Amino acid sequence: MENKNLPSYRQKSFEELKKINNYGAEYWSARDLQPLLGYNQWRRFEDAVKRAIISCEQSGNTPDHHFAGAGKMISLGKGGIREVLDYHLSRFACYLIAQNGDLACLTVARRAKKGHSE
């Protein structure tokens, strides 16, 4: 029996997370991408980002063109807000993060996606 009053949870797709900056360039927020790739903790996801930055550099690319440091305001309890570290990522940066990510997290994300599509 389905309760139609309850909101359904559907995780946004990679393309739905895409944003466009003031210059018309596409980017993804690392904080938004984190749950899509199966990470529950920022520090673990940031480790994957750092590995991807090294991989980017080793491939002859300029990491600053693909991993732009940014701040993001998040809500705290009792109505407070604070700024946290975030990255604005190019499509290439997102690919590198997935390639350099924790296999266990990526497997969880893949299973969750299968569960939502069935």
Name residue, tokens 């309850």. 6
Query: pTM of the predicted model, to two decimals?
Result: 0.76
Residue 23, Cβ neighbours under 10 Å: how many? 5
Q: Average of pLDDT values for 92-118?
A: 71
Is pLDDT above 60 for 113?
Answer: no
pLDDT digits (tens, 9 = 90+) for 27-86: 999 999 999 998 999 999 999 999 999 999 999 999 999 999 887 877 877 888 888 889
Contact between residue 36 and residue 14 where contact means Cβ atoms under 8 Å apart: yes
Is pLDDT above 50 for 118?
Answer: no
Task: Identify the residue with better confidence: 2 or 102.
Answer: 102
pLDDT at position 41 is 92
